[in-house]
Structure 1
Amino acid sequence: MSTLEIRDLHVSVETNDGPKPILRGVDLTVNSGETHAIMGPNGSGKSTLAYSIAGHPKYEVTSGSVTLDGEDVLAMSVDERARAGLFLAMQYPVEVPGVTVSNFLRTAKTAIDGKAPALRQWVGDVKTAMEDLRMDPEFAERNVNEGFSGGEKKRHEILQMELLKPKFAVLDETDSGLDVDALRVVSEGVNRVKGNSDIGVLLITHYTRILRYIHPDHVHVFIDGRVAEQGGPELAERLEESGYDRYLTARA
């Protein structure tokens, strides 16, 4: 079993007016095989948590710790974090002109594992994963995210997760911009990865609709950069009924 531990995490982001605190003391523990839903309104710090774990240079950790099986994640470079088993599915995946999906995936797999995958096995794995995600085979020869629809970008993120096999995946609003069919396919992809491994998942979302397909073990409500409440799946059901108003009213 692996464990991702976040302790009293404080994070600031640089603005035109100087550093702005975003996370104000976050505590969170995710174990192998668990799914944690991180929910909250816009501006509550959910994406800041995701990018801080991944090592985005825009976000400065001012105090606290993030450890993976006792190892200091914050002391690692971005590529070291990936090799240690961390994966981020971005809310807004960037375009990479001139790099095909097939080359990108194999290069990433080689970098993560420290050796190139056996070609015949790799080709079969990619083909199977793409079929499961209902992706056209020609997709592999397109440039990464260039001209992709929102659904294609999100399927590509899940394709990466399925092939790279991380210990922990942070899915930053993977449901954003997806229609019902794409949401179902992407959710099936996440559930398939979980069913075939002990991956731990941090699922960041505004809405409960994706939780109809990906069932969380734990739900955490973020308000103003802190965990305002946490519980089981029943907490998500309460949010579906009442929204975030009671947290925002209490804050005021």
Structure 2
Amino acid sequence: MAELLTIKNLRAGVEDKEILKGIDLSLGRGEVHVLLGPNGSGKSTLMNVLLGHPKYQVTEGAIEFEGEDLLEKAAYERARAGLFLSFQSPEEIPGITLENMIRTAKQAVTGEKVKLLPFRKALKAAMEELQMSPEYAQRYLNVGFSGGEKKRAEILQLLMLSPKLALLDETDSGLDVDAVQVVSAGVARFQQENPDSSVLIITHNTRILEKLKVDKVHVLMEGKVIEEGGPELIASVNDHGFTHLLDAEG
């Protein structure tokens, strides 16, 4: 299967602090990869570097997306190329409704005018799938939303924008069991409707993975990928934690 994303010897950090210390990772089309690791290991940094967050500086290495140099592209160009990031802590944006934000983003990504009636029909169906009240479409983005509502709004954007690569940064954090099931079903629907698209997901709650077919697991510690494997690696981490992997590596 052709590689969608290839990361080679990636080193990056903030100001004078190096956080990523030589990341090598590849992800094929249509695959679901899971990124595990303790807090502070560099998982969210990797996601932000992939999207081109200006806070982070890349000092070495390469990132290729569909065979093109991703590091040469601005953040908006990366979004247009097909990358999507679901934030761990979504921001509130007064003044723009959820519907208008998604519609504007879709037009920006596709370069085509979005017809209102078909768009609203698709939006309503996706919101029903995520058990979101239709009224949320007309509310300002994330303003007054609960934590769970913000995460559902993130998955709603994912379903409506249909990116080539979905980067999900702890989309399940702070959710109760029922909400995790809804979000998991939403990600599974994205995967089913976009079989050539890929998912890279950070999680501490493996319940979100129950409806997904996981192809590969990467364990990140101290800025490096120290272990890779199949879904069985998730069970190993759940049973024994991360430190035993460091002990085995040593």
TM-score interval, normalised by the smaller of the two chains: over 0.9
Counterpart of 2:47 in structure 1 is: 50
2:212 to 195, 211, 214: 214
Counterpart of 2:168 in structure 1 is: 171
Query: What is the Cα deviation at residue 248 of structure 1?
Result: 4.7
Does structure 2 conserve the Cα–Cα contact (< 8 Å) formed by 1:223 and 1:247? no
TM-score for both structures, normalised by structure 2: 0.95
Counterpart of 1:119 in structure 2 is: 116
1:25 aligns with 2:19: no
Aligned amino acid, residue 247 of structure 1: L
Counterpart of 1:71 in structure 2 is: 68
2:201 to 203, 216, 221: 203
Aligned amino acid, residue 109 of structure 2: I
Counterpart of 1:140 in structure 2 is: 137
1:101-141 deviations in Å (ceiling 9; x for gaps): 11111111111111221222111111111111110000001
1:233-252 deviations in Å (ceiling 9; x for gaps): 00101111111121355689
Q: C-alpha separation between the residues in 2 aligned to 1:208 and 1:245?
A: 18
Aligned amino acid, residue 32 of structure 2: T
1:102 aligns with 2:99: yes
Query: What is the Cα deviation at residue 151 of structure 1?
Result: 0.7
When residues 238 and 63 of structure 1 are mapped into structure 2, their CA distance, relative to the original with a 3 A threshold, is: same
Counterpart of 1:7 in 2: which secondary structure? strand
Does structure 1 conserve the Cα–Cα contact (< 8 Å) formed by 2:184 and 2:210? no
Does structure 1 conserve the Cα–Cα contact (< 8 Å) formed by 2:20 and 2:46? yes
Aligned amino acid, residue 125 of structure 1: A
Aligned amino acid, residue 86 of structure 2: A
Q: C-alpha separation between the residues in 1 aligned to 2:209 and 2:99?
A: 31
Counterpart of 2:77 in structure 1 is: 80
Q: What does 1:215-234 correspond to in 2, within 5 Å? A: 215-234=213-232
Q: C-alpha separation between the residues in 1 aligned to 2:3 and 2:97?
A: 33
Counterpart of 2:188 in structure 1 is: 191
Does structure 1 conserve the Cα–Cα contact (< 8 Å) formed by 2:37 and 2:219? yes
Q: C-alpha separation between the residues in 2 aligned to 1:214 and 1:195?
A: 10
Aligned amino acid, residue 216 of structure 1: V
Q: C-alpha separation between the residues in 1 aligned to 2:165 and 2:122?
A: 20
Counterpart of 1:7 in structure 2 is: 8
Aligned amino acid, residue 198 of structure 2: G
1:54-87 deviations in Å (ceiling 9; x for gaps): 1111111111111111111111111100000000
1:206-236 deviations in Å (ceiling 9; x for gaps): 2323222333110000011110000000010
Aligned residue pairs, count: 248
Aligned amino acid, residue 240 of structure 2: S
Does structure 2 conserve the Cα–Cα contact (< 8 Å) formed by 1:2 and 1:167? no
Counterpart of 1:202 in 2: which secondary structure? strand
Does structure 2 conserve the Cα–Cα contact (< 8 Å) formed by 1:37 and 1:219? yes
Does structure 1 conserve the Cα–Cα contact (< 8 Å) formed by 2:173 and 2:205? no
Aligned amino acid, residue 215 of structure 1: K
Query: What is the Cα deviation at residue 194 of structure 1?
Result: 0.4
**5+ unaligned residues in a row in structure 2: which ranges?**
none
- Tell me the C-alpha RMSD between the 2 structures: 1.4
Identity of aligned residues (%): 52
**5+ unaligned residues in a row in structure 1: which ranges?**
none
Does structure 1 conserve the Cα–Cα contact (< 8 Å) formed by 2:14 and 2:57? yes
Q: C-alpha separation between the residues in 2 aligned to 1:229 and 1:216?
A: 16
Does structure 2 conserve the Cα–Cα contact (< 8 Å) formed by 1:39 and 1:207? no
1:139-176 deviations in Å (ceiling 9; x for gaps): 00111011111111111111111111100010001110
